[in-house]
Amino acid sequence: MAAGDAFTAAQRHEIDKAIRDAETLSRIEFSVFVGRSEGETRPFAERLHSTLVAPDRSVLVLVDPAARILEIVTGVTAHRVLDDAEAELAALTMQSAFAEGDLVGGITRGVQQLAEHGRRPAVLHE
């Protein structure tokens, strides 16, 4: 991973922690890409998603601050617990934070919200 100057060490740690917490909460793998997308954003985000270790149970969040575009890709298994409307809600949260210039806060809150929606309620009968 290229260590760019986009984030300070503390900010990087904050995002890492948000991802770890989200994974613990929801049992979904989270991955956040911040940077310029190559070509069309959505296909690029889906390509990034498919290179993850377990794409089916992963959620990829792509943030392109230069183009001001945000993409959330949910894998097949993750999509079952996290539908598109819930992803849209998290996207709105992130957009409003990004519009205020709070990149790190938007990412951490968005990931947290995705995890809370993707958290499967405890099943008492099966």
Partner 1 sequence: MDQTGLGILVPVTNRPSNPRVRRAARVLALVPALLVTSATGVAFAEPPATWENTPPVSGLHVVLLLVMVPLALLALITLLVCLPSMSKGETYHPGQPWRGESEWFGGPRTGLEAVDSAVPPALTTSGPTRGGASGRW
What is the binding site for partner 1 (CB under 8 A)? Answer: 1-8, 10-12, 15-16, 19, 29-36, 38, 41-42, 44-53, 55, 59, 65-66, 68-76, 79-80, 82-84, 87-88, 90-92, 94-96, 98-104
Nearer to partner 1, 3 or 124 (CB): 3
Distance, in Å, from the CA atom of 15 to the CA atom of 7, rounded to the nearest integer, reads 10
**How near is the Cβ of 52 to partner 1 at its closest, in Å?**
7
Distance CA 109, CA 12 (A): 14
How far apart are CB 119 and partner 1 at their closest, in Å?
Answer: 17
**Which of 15, 25 has the CB closer to partner 1?**
15
Beta carbon of residue 110, minimum distance to partner 1 (angstroms, whole number): 10
* Total residue count of the chain as it appears in this document: 126
The DSSP code for 104 is H
User: How far apart are alpha carbons 118 and 25 in whole angstroms?
Assistant: 9
CB 29 within 8 A of CB 23: yes
The structure tokens listed for 80 are 């079952």
Q: How far is the CB of 122 from partner 1 (least distance, A)?
A: 24
